[in-house]
Structure 1
Amino acid sequence: MTSRLNSCCFSATPMASVMLALVLLAACSKPVEKTDDIRPVRAMKLVAADADATAEFSGDVRPRIESRLGFRVGGKIVARKVEVGSLVKRGQVLMQLDPQDFELAQLQSAAGLKAAQSNRDLALAEQQRYVELRARNFVSQAVLDAKQTAFQAAQASFDQAAAVARNQINQTGYTTLVANVDGVVTGIDAEAGQVVAAGTPVLRVAQTREKDVVIGIPEDQVELLRQVGTIRVHIWADPGTVIEGKLRELSPIADPVSRTFTARIALPSEAAQVRLGMTAYVTFVSKVPQGMIRVPLNALVRDKPNTAVWVIDKGAVSLVPVQVAGPAGNDMLLSGGVSAGQVIVIAGVNLLKSGQKVTILNDDLAVRDAVSFQGGASK
């Protein structure tokens, strides 16, 4: 019994020593001080914008008028005289149908016209002879009236046969498809040997005199850009040349796929260097009213349902809603919410929370202003 007690006391002594050491260490350690979470950011001082607001969209050059041509009669195509890209003149032959059946019908109508002419001439002679006989009282008035009626019927038959003959001549002429305007062939939808019905499009011709640049405008900028008077167009193949354009047409319905509104920008007729299918860039330019603020795009934060910026005041940030007036190159114009002289965050906006303390990384903030961002966002 004595040996068991001694064994228990011997084994408990080291454990008690360890617990005592831990208590003494805890008593001697200092409490951990709580530190503020300070985020490094880049900032800029706001100034009133002094530049034109611009919005640029890409598109392609298309003809203002592109006609889908077809034969006015049906038949078998026997010849195609043009290729895609061929320049054509008004009246130039484009395609031909087999005219054999129409020529036979034309001969038939011509024969019918001759027969109707012979019957009319005979009826006319009969009428004149009976007029003389009636003058001598050799025949009654009823007989003369019958001869006059026969002549009128023969004359009507002749007029009908003449109309049929003229119509058949037209039908034969319709077997040749000719260009109705000067232009360029943009597509061929039928080939020689194919039988087509009347009115089926077989060829497309675009007028080269008048051209448009077709672009898609986002729905939130339609009304704003509708009022813009200055529109500049430059071609990707010749970026140094600026062409003055004009908004000719703006679709009232959004495209079901892209959800943009199709706009057609008319080009002047003297822009001969612009070819169909070229890539073009359309820039809408509008004057900026005094009092607007220009900020880089990455300074804006989406705070549903508003757009906001982080304003720095006394080393801490707060989220301030702003009113966006429109784009200006790579920047955005603000019409309200902030004023010149305030400092906002332009880099690191997605890692902040309201009231958080920040440190500004760019030392040149005192001389930095919005003019530095006219070519793009801060580096």
Structure 2
Amino acid sequence: MFALKTLRRQTGAPALPALRLLAAAALAMTLAACSKPAPKAEDVRPVRAIVLASSNVDVNAEFSGEVVARVTSQLGFRVGGKIVERNVEVGTVVKRGQVLMRLDPQDLQLSQAQGKASLNSAQTNRDLARAELKRYQELRDKNFVSQAVLDSKDAAYKAAQAQVEAAQAAYRGQANQSGYASLLADGDGVITRIDAEVGQVVSPGTPVAVLARNGDREVVIGIPEDKVDTMRRVKNVVVRLWADPKQALPGKIREVSPVADPATRTYLAKVTIPNAPEALLGMTAVVQFASTTATPQIRVPLTALFNEKSQSSVWVVENGAVKLVNVTVGGVAGNDLLLSSGVKEGQTVVTAGVNLLKPGQKVSILGAEMAAPAKADPVITAGAAK
């Protein structure tokens, strides 16, 4: 009261507005003290999960590659020279012994003529030495010459005979060189590449054409490091062409490189297609690997496993919350685990963020996928196409 009177004396204004202001402030403080705190929002953690499904498909993988001939020959001249004739193009079907290219034979023919002349000269010297030896043998029989003279004539004849043999070998070699002026196909097949043209001078052994021989065809593929051992054990292999995906051809792994490619870090594998049509050469194909197990298996990614106190577990989602379930790992298949007990088909299992969860925690699933591998195409046993 004293304060109001003092305020009135100092300001000369009524004290009622100030009183109302003080009362409003006191009421606000009272209401704030009596109000309850806002409820805390429930922690819902987003996770990724899969719906478990069992399957007896053990391996289901696909790799693309190119269809090539099992035997491919890089053809080249055995002598050097200038190409004067080319009788084939890329894609030409050739037979064994067919002439593909020719070199200018002039220098080779001159060398052959020189070899023939040397042989004739050696034969003439041999004939003269033989006739002289015969005369001296008659003189020796009459004791007109000594044995030493006869021995020298015999040695001269033998030397002349050796020169003839050497000249014959040289002549045959020159004749072969002349024959090498023609490049012949060493088997039936098709020309897949031409590396030289008319007028080009080539050295001996330089590849000038590539011949893909008739016979089995193969698909060359690259298998990743983590799957190469598994693919080696697969027996049922199916090859499908991109040009005709409905046609399935039986395949067989013929060769797997023992070392990885330094650039791609994949292992080169060759899958043979027995009795394949010749038209497949050069096409793109997909090699499918598929095998089955005796009993269905449940697979989960490695990221789904939660280890605590040497016990393997997974987080199972039920009614929007997670619970920890102990499981038994039956094996490993690539980047997946094979679970033999603890879970069953149809359950939802967390695959990402397992180390940040606690029992009973609410979760929201970002995306659910089926854990079972995709259904494989009908498996074709080698030798029986569907």
State the TM bucket, normalised to the shorter chain.
0.7 to 0.9
Match of 1:178 in 2: 184
Q: Which runs of 5+ in 2 are unaligned?
A: 1-5, 377-386
**Aligned partner letter, 1:215:** I
Residues 160 and 313 (structure 1 numbering): CA distance in 2 closer, same or farther, change over 3 Å? same
Q: What are the equivalent positions in structure 2 for 1:233-272 lying under 5 Å apart?
A: 233-268=239-274, 270-272=275-277
The question of whether the paired residues in 2 share the 8 Å contact of 1:312 and 1:344 is answered with yes
The question of whether the paired residues in 2 share the 8 Å contact of 1:300 and 1:308 is answered with no
What is the CA-CA distance between 1:85 and the residue it aligns to? 1.0
The question of whether the paired residues in 2 share the 8 Å contact of 1:291 and 1:335 is answered with no
Match of 2:90 in 1: 84
- Secondary structure, counterpart of 2:209 in structure 1: strand
Match of 2:284 in 1: 279
Residues 324 and 86 (structure 1 numbering): CA distance in 2 closer, same or farther, change over 3 Å? farther
Residues 2 and 115 (structure 1 numbering): CA distance in 2 closer, same or farther, change over 3 Å? closer
Match of 1:72 in 2: 78
The question of whether the paired residues in 2 share the 8 Å contact of 1:325 and 1:333 is answered with yes
**Aligned partner letter, 1:70:** G
**Aligned partner letter, 2:66:** D
Normalised by the length of structure 1, the TM-score is 0.82
CA distance in 2 between partners of 1:242 and 1:103 (Å)? 55
The question of whether the paired residues in 2 share the 8 Å contact of 1:248 and 1:264 is answered with yes
1:32 aligns with one of 31, 38, 49: 38
The question of whether the paired residues in 2 share the 8 Å contact of 1:317 and 1:353 is answered with no
- Secondary structure, counterpart of 2:280 in structure 1: coil
1:192 aligns with one of 172, 189, 198: 198
The question of whether the paired residues in 2 share the 8 Å contact of 1:74 and 1:195 is answered with yes
CA distance in 1 between partners of 2:156 and 2:9 (Å)? 157
Pair 1:340 & 2:348 matched: no
Residues 311 and 256 (structure 1 numbering): CA distance in 2 closer, same or farther, change over 3 Å? same
CA distance in 1 between partners of 2:198 and 2:256 (Å)? 40
The question of whether the paired residues in 2 share the 8 Å contact of 1:48 and 1:290 is answered with no
Match of 1:23 in 2: 29
Aligned residues: 362
1:354 aligns with one of 339, 357, 360: 357
What is the CA-CA distance between 1:74 and the residue it aligns to? 1.1
Pair 1:210 & 2:216 matched: yes
CA distance in 2 between partners of 1:353 and 1:8 (Å)? 67
The question of whether the paired residues in 2 share the 8 Å contact of 1:318 and 1:354 is answered with no
What is the CA-CA distance between 1:316 and the residue it aligns to? 2.3
CA distance in 2 between partners of 1:361 and 1:157 (Å)? 93
Residues 45 and 114 (structure 1 numbering): CA distance in 2 closer, same or farther, change over 3 Å? closer
The question of whether the paired residues in 1 share the 8 Å contact of 2:65 and 2:221 is answered with yes
CA distance in 1 between partners of 2:45 and 2:26 (Å)? 43
CA deviation vs aligned residue, 1:251-303 (integer Å, no higher than 9, x gap): 111122222111110110x22165111111111122224252156x7x96598
Normalised by the length of structure 2, the TM-score is 0.80
CA distance in 2 between partners of 1:308 and 1:183 (Å)? 60
Residues 283 and 84 (structure 1 numbering): CA distance in 2 closer, same or farther, change over 3 Å? same
Residues 41 and 114 (structure 1 numbering): CA distance in 2 closer, same or farther, change over 3 Å? closer
CA distance in 2 between partners of 1:374 and 1:189 (Å)? 45
What is the CA-CA distance between 1:58 and the residue it aligns to? 1.4
CA deviation vs aligned residue, 1:317-340 (integer Å, no higher than 9, x gap): 25778677448xxx9673457532
2:161 aligns with one of 155, 165, 168: 155
Residues 205 and 26 (structure 1 numbering): CA distance in 2 closer, same or farther, change over 3 Å? same
**Aligned partner letter, 2:295:** Q
Pair 1:5 & 2:7 matched: no
- Secondary structure, counterpart of 1:82 in structure 2: coil
Identity of aligned residues (%): 48
The question of whether the paired residues in 2 share the 8 Å contact of 1:49 and 1:370 is answered with no
The question of whether the paired residues in 1 share the 8 Å contact of 2:8 and 2:14 is answered with no
CA deviation vs aligned residue, 1:188-235 (integer Å, no higher than 9, x gap): 111111111111111111113121111111111111111111111111
Q: Which runs of 5+ in 1 are unaligned?
A: none
- Secondary structure, counterpart of 1:288 in structure 2: strand
